[in-house]
Amino acid sequence: MRISQKKTERCPPQCSVETSGEESIKKDKRIILISFSAVMLSVGLVFEFILKWDLPAEILFLITAAASGYRIAREGFFSLIFRKKLSIDLLIIIAAVGSFLIGHGEEGAAVIFLFYIAESLEVYAAERARRSIASLMELAPEVAVVKRDGEETKVPVDEVGINEVIVVRPGEKIPLDGRVIRGVSTVNQAPITGESIPVTKQAGDDVYAGTINNEGFLEIEVTRRSDETILSKIVRLVEEAQKMKSPTEKFIDKFSRYYTPSVMFLALSVATVPTFLFGLPLNEWLYKALVLLVVSCPCALAISTPVAMVSGITSAARNGVLIKGSIYVEEVSKVKVFAFDKTGTLTEGRLKVTDVVSLRHPRGEVLSIAASLEALSEHPIAKAIVEEAKEEGVTLRAVEDFRAITGKGVMGRIGDQVYFVGSRRLFKELSADFREEEAWKLENEGKTVVFVGDEKEVIGLIAVMDKIRDSTVETMNELRRMGVKTVMITGDNERTAKAIAERIGITEYKAELLPEDKLNIIEELSERYERVAMVGDGVNDAPALARASVGIAMGAIGSDVSLETADIALMQDDLSKLPYLIELSKRTLEIVKENVLASILIKGGFAVLAFPGLVTLWLAVAIGDMGLSLAVILNAMRLSFIRARTTEPRS
C-alpha cells in the first residue's frame, strides 16, 4: 500500500485546473469501481449462501476480484519483476489466489475488494495533503488588473512584470507581491500569516499575493513576478518539507522493508510445516497461513507516521508557521531551551521615546532643541526623537553650523546658542554640569539616555527604548508553564539586557555579544541541554540559527533570507506562535505513537488469533487492514483542529 509521492508543481493556472480535473476523474473511477465490485460481491454472496447457486457465485467472485484487483496485481508483479521487491500488493494477490484454490472464493474476492478500499483511503489521504498545498496555490488570483498606457487591462499574473502597477479594488485578492503607491485600506493577511486581524496598508507598505483587500482602492507596484512571490515560495517549501523524513519515518520505512519478506516466510512455514511434519490437514493450515499473510500486511504501520507528519506540516502552514520538514516537527517536541535574540525578536526593533526629563528648561523646549538637531541625523535614536516631536506637535527650529560628532552625538547653532545632543561621554568631555542620578535611574530601567545641553550644562534628558512586543511577556510565561527554559542573547550592554530580561520574565541572559559570540552561546547551551531552539530575525542571527537544533526565524513574510535559511519560519512577528508550535509538535508525535501502537497491537492480536482459526480472511482485511488504515488516517486528521491563538490587533 502506498502514499503517492507525486509532486504538486508550480504551474500556470490552466495546469492546476487540469491536475484537479484528472484527480476528479480518477476519484470518480474509484467510486464507480468500488460500487460495481460491492454489487458483484453482494449478489455473489446471495447466490452462494441463500440460493445455493455455487457456479454463478464463483463467477461473480472472480469478476469482483478482477475488477478490484487488476491494479493491485499489476503493481505487485511490477515490483517483484523490475524492483526485485516483495510488495504488500503481492501478499494480497497470493492470499486471494490461495483462497480461490482452496474453495474460499468469497473470501478471496472480499480480500481483494476490501484491500482496494483501504488503498483508496490512503490515496484519499495523499490527495488531501496535495489539495492543502493546491489550496495555497489557488489563494492568488489567475489574472491581475494592470495599468498600461493609462488604461486598466486584465492580464494573466504570469505575464505581469516587475515595476508594473496593478489595481486592487475592495473585496478582491491581491494577485502579486508589491508595494502600495496609492490608496489606504485594511488587508486580511490570514491566508499567509495566520493572523486574524486585518492590517492597515498605505503608501510605502508591502503587500503579498493571496491576501485580501478589505475596503479601500489600492494601486500597487509589483516587486516580484508570479513564480517569485512569498506565496509561491511557501508552496514550494511545504512541498519539499513533505518529502523530508523524520527519524521515526525512516525507521518505519526500514522496518517495512525487512518485515514483508519475514511475513511471507512465516506464512509459508505455517502452510507447510504442520502438514509435512505432523500430518495435519493442508487446507486448514493453508487457510491460516493466508489469514496470517493478510493480517500481517504493514499497511497501516507504513502510513502511521507520514500521514500524521504531513497533516501537522500543512496544518502549521495554514496557521502562519512554515515547517521545513517532519524532522523539525520531531525536534521541536524535544527542545528543552529556547534562546532568543532581543532586537527585532523579543522587541519590535524600533526605538521609541519613553521619557523627556526637564532639568533646566521646560520639557517642550528640551524636545524641540533635541529634535531640531537630530532631524539632520540618520541615526535610529535621532529618528525616534524626531518622530516623538512630530507626534507631540513640537515645532522644529532652524539649525546652523550642524556637525556630527562620531560615536558621541551631534551639535549645532540654534539662534545665538550652540547646543549638543549626545552621550554622557560627550558632556563629560565638555565638562558640562549635570546630575547623573536621573540618568542612572533611567538606564537601570533598560533605557538609552540621550543628554541635551550646551557647553556649560545639561538642560534635559531624553530616554529611548526598543518597545517590547505585546506578545513577549505572555509567551515567556506560557513557555515556562510548558517546562521550557528561556534564554536571551543580545549585543546590548549588561544594564539594558538585565532590565529587559526582568521585564519580560527571562531568568538567564547573555549581554554584549557579537554574532560569533551568539554561536558560542548556542554551542554551550547544546552541551547543557542537548536540544536548543534559536529564535531570531534570520539575517544577523544566521550562524546561531544554523547551529541550533531548530532555527526559528521571525517575520519571514518580509524576508527571503528567513524563508530560505531557517528550519521553521513564523510568517509574521508573533511570538505567540511558539507555544502553538510546541503543542502541535507534541500532539503530532502523540498521534504517531498512537497510530504505531494501534497498528502493532491490532495486527499482532489478529495474527495470534489466526492460529486457532478465530479470524477469517475477510475479517482480517475489514478490521486489521482497511479499518485500521481508516482509523490511522482519521486520527492524523485531528491535527488540523489545532489552532494558533488570535494575535493582537495591529494598525
Judged by average pLDDT, the poorest of 1-10, 44-53, 401-410, 619-628 is 1-10
Task: Express as a percent the part of the chain with pLDDT over 70.
Answer: 84
Q: Tell me how far apart the terminal alpha carbons of the chain are, to the nearest angstrom.
A: 51
CA dist., res. 421 & res. 454, Å (int): 9
Residue 166 has pLDDT above 60, yes or no: yes
Band the pLDDT of 540: cuts 50, 70, 90: low
CATH number for the domain running over 321-347+469-583: 3.40.50.1000
Band the pLDDT of 246: cuts 50, 70, 90: low
Active-site residue (options: 341, 454, 492, 625): 341
Higher pLDDT residue, 567 or 126?
A: 567
CA dist., res. 215 & res. 279, Å (int): 84
Q: What is the pLDDT averaged over residues 147-155?
A: 90
Residue 279 has pLDDT above 90, yes or no: no
Q: What is the pLDDT averaged over residues 270-274?
A: 88
Judged by average pLDDT, the poorest of 262-266, 333-337, 372-376 is 262-266
Higher pLDDT residue, 400 or 99?
A: 400
Band the pLDDT of 5: cuts 50, 70, 90: very low
648 within 8 A of 195, measured Cβ to Cβ: no
Residue 369 has pLDDT above 70, yes or no: yes
Q: What is the pLDDT averaged over residues 39-61?
A: 91
HSE-CB at 175 with a 13 A cutoff on CA atoms is: 27
Band the pLDDT of 1: cuts 50, 70, 90: very low
- Is residue 158 annotated as a catalytic residue, yes or no? no
Q: What are the C-alpha distances in Å from 607 to residues 82, 290, 291, 296, 603?
A: 30, 11, 8, 7, 6
pLDDT, residue 588, reads 92
CATH number for the domain running over 143-228: 2.70.150.10
Q: What is the pLDDT averaged over residues 120-134?
A: 62
Higher pLDDT residue, 155 or 49?
A: 155
Residue 476 has pLDDT above 60, yes or no: yes
Q: What is the pLDDT averaged over residues 359-387?
A: 90
Band the pLDDT of 419: cuts 50, 70, 90: very high
HSE-CB at 55 with a 13 A cutoff on CA atoms is: 0
Residue 553 has pLDDT above 90, yes or no: no
pLDDT, residue 164, reads 95
Q: 521: Cβ–Cβ under 8 A, 6 or more apart, which residues?
A: 339, 487, 489, 510, 513, 544
pTM surpassing 0.75? no
CATH number for the domain running over 348-467: 3.40.1110.10
CA dist., res. 538 & res. 566, Å (int): 7
Residue 586 has pLDDT above 90, yes or no: yes
pLDDT, residue 190, reads 65
Q: What is the pLDDT averaged over residues 140-159?
A: 89
Helix axes 363-374, 380-391, angle to 10 degrees: 130
Higher pLDDT residue, 185 or 136?
A: 185
Residue 394 has pLDDT above 50, yes or no: yes
Q: What is the pLDDT averaged over residues 373-395?
A: 90
Q: 201: Cβ–Cβ under 8 A, 6 or more apart, which residues?
A: 180, 184, 185, 186, 187, 207, 218
pLDDT, residue 192, reads 67
pLDDT, residue 9, reads 35
CA dist., res. 27 & res. 125, Å (int): 12
pLDDT, residue 466, reads 83
Band the pLDDT of 550: cuts 50, 70, 90: very high
CA dist., res. 332 & res. 151, Å (int): 52
Q: Residues 75-100: pLDDT tens digits?
A: 888 888 887 777 778 877 887 888 78
Band the pLDDT of 11: cuts 50, 70, 90: very low
Band the pLDDT of 253: cuts 50, 70, 90: low
Residue 142 has pLDDT above 90, yes or no: no
Question: Do 143-228 and 348-467 agree at the fold level?
Answer: no
Q: What is the pLDDT averaged over residues 243-266?
A: 68
Q: What is the pLDDT averaged over residues 360-373?
A: 91
Band the pLDDT of 538: cuts 50, 70, 90: low
Domain boundaries of the chain, sorted by first residue: 13-136+238-316+584-641, 143-228, 321-347+469-583, 348-467
pLDDT, residue 247, reads 65
Residue 641 CB burial class (10 angstroms; 0-12, 13-18, ≥19): exposed
Residue 340 has pLDDT above 60, yes or no: yes
Q: What is the pLDDT averaged over residues 100-120?
A: 80
pLDDT, residue 14, reads 32
Could you tell me which residues are beta bridge partners of residue 452? Answer: 421, 460
pLDDT, residue 44, reads 92
pLDDT, residue 282, reads 85
pLDDT, residue 18, reads 39
Higher pLDDT residue, 39 or 325?
A: 39
Judged by average pLDDT, the poorest of 246-255, 331-340, 430-439, 551-560 is 246-255
Residue 232 has pLDDT above 80, yes or no: no
pLDDT, residue 4, reads 34
pLDDT, mean over the chain: 82
Residue 615 has pLDDT above 90, yes or no: no
pLDDT, residue 647, reads 47
Q: What is the pLDDT averaged over residues 407-422?
A: 91
